[in-house]
Amino acid sequence: MSQPPTQPPGSPPRNQASSSLVQLNEDFADFEGDPTSINQVPTPQQPGTQVALRPTMHPPPSAQPSPNQFASASPSLSHIGPPIAQPYAASHAGHAHAPHAPPSNPPAPGPQPGPQPSPQLQSMQPMMQSTQMTPGLAGAMSGGMTMTAMPGSTIAQVSGVAAQPTPYVSRSRIYAFVVDETGMPIELGSGRFAKCYLGEERWVESKTTLRRPVAIKALQRNVSPEDQMRFQMEKEILERVQGHPNIVELLGSGEGDSAGFIPPMIRDRVENDFMILELLDMSLEERLKGARQKRRRDDLLTVPLRERIFRVLEYIIPVATAVEFSHLVRDTCHRDIKPANILVKLPDPNLRGSQMKIKLADFNVGKVNDPDLDVSMTRFQAVPGTLYFQSPEQETNTFELLVNVTQGSPEVEFFEDFYIDIYENDSFALFNRNEMYSIAAADRARKKLLLNRPFAEASEINVRGRVVKSVGRPADIYSLGAVFYYLISGAYANPKNLFDAFRKFVEYEKRDENNSIAAYVEHEYRTIQNMRAPKAEGQGAPELAPEDRFFSYKHYLDGNGELIDPMIMMIIAKAMIRNKPDSYCLSYDLRTTGISSMVHDLLSLYIAYGIDPSARIAYSNDGYQAPKKGGAMRRAFDKFFRK
């Protein structure tokens, strides 16, 4: 009579394996059939140790979704339910193989002969090492499947599954579009090359199956290759600047992950290339204009000037701190700051401690100063932006010059008599030539450009050259000043009109005590006060200097005709005028830290108006009114129609 097969050394007794299997089935049913709850990380394995791992669970072929199957009309993600629960041991019963015989002479414990790797190398063993489970446990769990185990010594056994010693854990989250009753996704907005839809995030390994709304930004179809590149850049740049409370949170991104992720009704509009972002209420532009909800419009002109200043500071200071973080910590610039790219999360009116959240978004034209990153990805010939808020170097990014060039000489002679804004870090090239040269300096008095290296091409006379302006951190500071001016005027004034008024002063290059922003603003407001001074009866207009007779100060007024505070105008001018000694930055200084000075001056406005900056939240909620208690009709309505 044949003897039963000998149980391999190190495997559990048969009755223990059976009890472990029962407990494993119960845990599996409690966990909604999700086999990905343990993400093992490779660790050193002790010699002679065999590890039993939990096999991957797959639903039967009938439970697999068809390629065209997609989300149901309900926004509850009912199409992403748990797999069909089956007994764990029977899940692969149809794929049983003959169990492998154990080795006749297992290696003895202890050090083995031969060269042994160092502890550092042992801790870096490859994660995927092929091993075989012991026949008793392997046959009971997977019908004799050959498993793939990770190195490491077993330290605990939970519900029949061997755990590995690792300092890491993994938690899964799934995302899907939210669709209406017709299966159409809910569109939140559309931009130059992407559309944004309402989505939902679900925590798979959650005790409460937590769900929350998110925004899914997808690339539109048939966009230009440059816009496709910008969408990929936005993913990378937004990932780099994560970590600040006033920068929109990136929850995930991908391309072509699942053929059924994009709903069928919009597959002809967007690509399977997406970003998943946190969901906020609206953009600042929609908030000011009431484009999304008219009743939630913030009409800045209807509030007193003092209250408007504090309200504007609640908008602009979070954006300025986000720009400071991206400049000085992440070495990244935005290059398209405008109200449409500032997102707002309104406070809950029923909560006294609820606060408004301001987030900076849309880094699709940003620039990363990283030597490991291809510069061509962040330096296009034209830098897009919004006309009213973009810097002069973005508005006129490339212009022509009539030049003489000499081979082997770094000097370039040009023949333009008007003021030309050329500085170091700009680029020079001849038309129809691929060779680009960085400009080291510009001497407008001698009409010379100094290149960073000698001109390598053939000498030419009276030839057309082009200068490409560099766009970096100074452009963000200019745009912040433009947005601040737009908001303080009650979302009424055009920042370009203000810069046009500044232009003559910008072109003034004489070095004297009057060539400073403080002196310029003081002179402007002194002239305005003379023109606005009340006139005595029988007297005409006050005497003005000849240069002031055609002076217009309309750009110094807000939408109500009130004069903007000179202290505020000083901050705006120091941000938009960038070639004076007291400017926040110089237009060519790509490594400037002037954003910190601007943040300091913005916070100082609270003190100037008698408010402690740390108590500004209490002042912003000064008009809070407790919600009124509903009457009998309201209570009856809530009882029958609200869950």
Res. 611 pLDDT band, cuts 50 70 90: confident
Q: Residue 432: its pLDDT value, please? A: 85
Q: Residue 629: its pLDDT value, please? A: 61
Query: How far is 460 from 407, CA to CA, in rounded Å?
Result: 8
Contact assessment for residue 220 and residue 193, using Cβ atoms and an 8 Å cutoff: yes
The region of weakest confidence among 59-63, 182-186, 305-309, 479-483 is: 59-63
Q: Residue 375: its pLDDT value, please? A: 42
Give 521: exposed, middle or buried? Use CB within 10 Å, 0-12, 13-18, 19+: buried
The region of weakest confidence among 325-334, 366-375, 395-404 is: 366-375
- Cα angle 236, 238, 244 (rounded to 5 degrees) comes to 140
The whole-angstrom distance between residue 16's C-alpha and the CA centroid of its chain comes to: 52
DSSP-derived 3-state class of residue 200: strand
The region of weakest confidence among 260-269, 346-355, 441-450, 620-629 is: 620-629
The region of weakest confidence among 57-66, 321-330, 525-534 is: 57-66
Q: Residue 639: its pLDDT value, please? A: 66
Q: Residue 518: its pLDDT value, please? A: 96
User: What CATH class does 398-468 carry?
Assistant: mainly beta
Closest C-alpha to 63, from 43, 44, 40, 79: 79
pLDDT at 94 over 70: no
Q: Residue 540: its pLDDT value, please? A: 56
Every domain range in the chain assigned CATH 2.40.30: 398-468
Note the pLDDT tens digit of each residue in 441-490. 998 889 999 999 999 999 999 999 999 999 999 999 999 999 999 999 99
Query: How far is 428 from 399, CA to CA, in rounded Å?
Result: 10
Note the pLDDT tens digit of each residue in 13-27. 444 444 444 444 454
Note the pLDDT tens digit of each residue in 482-533. 999 999 999 999 999 999 999 989 988 888 888 999 999 999 999 888 877 6
The answer for residues whose C-beta is within 8 angstroms of residue 538's C-beta and 6 or more apart is none
Query: How far is 56 from 39, CA to CA, in rounded Å?
Result: 12
pLDDT at 121 over 70: no
Query: How far is 307 from 413, CA to CA, in rounded Å?
Result: 54
Res. 556 pLDDT band, cuts 50 70 90: very high
Res. 434 pLDDT band, cuts 50 70 90: confident
pLDDT at 407 over 90: yes
Res. 209 pLDDT band, cuts 50 70 90: confident
Note the pLDDT tens digit of each residue in 274-302. 999 999 999 999 999 987 777 778 999 99
Res. 219 pLDDT band, cuts 50 70 90: very high
Average pLDDT of span 122-147: 38
Closest C-alpha to 517, from 442, 416, 598: 598
pLDDT at 38 over 90: no
Closest C-alpha to 554, from 478, 485, 501, 481: 501
| High-pLDDT (> 90) share of the chain, % | 48
Q: Residue 137: its pLDDT value, please? A: 34
Query: How far is 79 from 228, CA to CA, in rounded Å?
Result: 31
What is the residue-averaged pLDDT of the chain?
77
Q: Residue 578: its pLDDT value, please? A: 95
- Tell which wins on pLDDT, 417 or 506: 506
DSSP character for 74? S
Q: Residue 420: its pLDDT value, please? A: 77
Q: Residue 257: its pLDDT value, please? A: 80
Note the pLDDT tens digit of each residue in 234-290. 999 999 999 999 999 999 999 988 889 999 999 999 999 999 999 999 999 999 998
Query: How far is 231 from 164, CA to CA, in rounded Å?
Result: 40
* Backbone torsions φ then ψ of 17, nearest 5 degrees: -65, -40
Res. 574 pLDDT band, cuts 50 70 90: very high
Average pLDDT of span 407-432: 89
The region of weakest confidence among 367-371, 453-457, 589-593 is: 367-371
